[in-house]
């Protein structure tokens, strides 16, 4: 019973500190929460929680604030995911449903996630490791140039203009288009690149130089597309909302946003479900006052980065909901 009561006290301290950004005292706990015990019992429970490292006292005679260990206990055992309202769910679905392509889906996801959480939103572009070629098109242009268009199963569209030594005849153009489609459509990007090379020997020697130019350019497009790892970031203006206790983390955050390697690593650790990494759990220098909430969608991930005194139940619900909608949209494509 005492352990359960102390967990209730810890939950109340976390919720009040997140809401007020002020250290929480025993009197305010009694005023705001129906804990059903005496002030002396609350003070004793707070002393035990402090001794065990779940809360700390920033100044003498001040109230208590949660530690990283306290936030972790709150997330693991106390927090229930706050369901989004019907209006919030409709807003997400309507806003994301208006996207015209994958890039638009990612950009819209970043915006809506930043707005819902008032944090920095991070969305990794869809993973291409499992993507396949959906269509290849060759369009003749003027002056012995052609436009090669590749559409992948992830919805990405890549275009490349190729300068040829001579113009393609209609017959050769149709042959090249047909064989390239046959070699690539339905294949994963890496396998499609290998199969492309095998098509060259199927053409007469006089046509092989020009076909080789097309195949090389198309193969390069496929391999560069497969290896691309990008993220979109939104809500950086929310840094101003985080308060003075976050000042020391501003520089590391800005550096991470600029270089993106750290963010890709953190998002890459998300598998299934919603994950929360608090402070030192991120494994990133300078992130001791930060927390990352992330969720997986179809092999990629998205999430938010904010102060460790964030609204965990609300943030977890928003991240999970956006990931679910994004995954659904991309599967429909």
Looking at per-residue pLDDT, the higher value among 202 and 36 belongs to 202
Domains and CATH numbers, the chain: 2-78 (1.10.10.10), 86-125+230-332 (3.30.450.40), 133-227 (3.30.390.60)
User: pTM score > 0.85 for this model?
Assistant: no
**What does pLDDT average to over the chain?**
86
What does the H/E/C string look like for the chain?
CHHHHHHHHHHHHHHHHHHHCCCECHHHHHHHCCCCCCHHHHHHHHHHHHHCCCEECCCCCCCEEECHHHHHHHHHHHCCCCCCCHHHHHHHHHHHHCCCCHHHHHHHHHHHHHHHHCCEEEEECCCCCCCEEEEEEEEECCCCEEEEEEEECCCCEEEEEEECCCCCCHHHHHHHHHHHHHHHECCEHHHHHHHHHHHHHHCCHHHHHHHHHHHHHHHHHHHHHHHCCCEEEECHHHHHHCCHHHHHHHHHHHHHHHHCHHHHHHHHCCCCCEEEEEHHHHCCCCCCCEEEEEEEECCEEEEEEEECCCCHHHHHHHHHHHHHHHHHHHHHC
Per residue in 72-125, pLDDT (tens digit) is: 999 998 767 788 888 888 989 999 888 877 788 889 999 999 999 999 999 988
| 89-103, 242-256, 263-277, 307-321: range with lowest mean pLDDT | 242-256
Query: What's the pLDDT score for residue 55?
Result: 95
pLDDT interval class at 271 (50, 70, 90): low
Per residue in 125-184, pLDDT (tens digit) is: 876 656 788 899 999 998 889 999 988 876 678 888 989 888 889 999 999 999 999 999
Looking at per-residue pLDDT, the higher value among 62 and 215 belongs to 215
Looking at per-residue pLDDT, the higher value among 246 and 43 belongs to 43
């Amino acid at each position: 019973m005492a352990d359960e009561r102390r967990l209730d006290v810890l939950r109340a301290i976390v919720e009040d500190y997140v809401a007020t950004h002020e250290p929480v005292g025993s009197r305010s706990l009694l005023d705001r929460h129906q804990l059903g015990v005496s002030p002396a019992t609350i003070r004793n429970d707070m002393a035990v929680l402090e001794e065990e490292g779940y809360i700390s006292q920033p100044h003498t005679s001040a109230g208590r604030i949660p530690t990283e260990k306290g936030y972790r206990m709150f997330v693991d055992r106390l927090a229930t995911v706050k369901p989004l309202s019907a209006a919030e769910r409709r807003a997400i679905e309507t806003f994301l449903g208006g996207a015209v392509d994958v890039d638009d889906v990612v950009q819209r996801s970043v915006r809506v996630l930043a707005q819902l959480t008032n944090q920095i939103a991070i969305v990794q572009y869809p993973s291409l490791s499992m993507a396949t070629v959906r269509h290849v098109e060759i369009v003749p242009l003027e002056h012995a140039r052609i436009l090669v268009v590749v559409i992948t199963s992830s919805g990405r569209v890549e275009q490349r203009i190729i300068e040829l030594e001579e113009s393609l005849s209609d017959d050769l153009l149709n042959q090249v288009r047909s064989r390239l489609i046959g070699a690539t459509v339905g294949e994963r990007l890496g396998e499609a690149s290998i199969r492309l090379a095998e098509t060259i020997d199927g053409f007469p020697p006089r046509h092989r130089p020009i076909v080789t130019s097309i195949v090389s350019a198309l193969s390069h497009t496929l391999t560069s597309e497969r290896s691309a790892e990008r993220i979109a970031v939104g809500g950086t203006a929310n840094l101003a909302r985080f308060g003075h206790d976050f000042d020391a983390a501003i520089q590391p955050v800005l550096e991470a946003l600029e270089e993106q390697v750290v963010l890709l690593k953190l998002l890459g650790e998300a598998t299934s479900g919603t994950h929360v990494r608090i402070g030192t759990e991120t494994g990133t220098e300078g992130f001791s006052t930060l927390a990352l909430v992330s969720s997986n969608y179809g092999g990629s991930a998205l999430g938010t980065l904010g102060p460790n005194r964030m609204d965990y139940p609300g943030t977890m619900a928003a991240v999970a909901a956006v990931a679910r909608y994004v995954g659904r949209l991309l599967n429909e494509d």
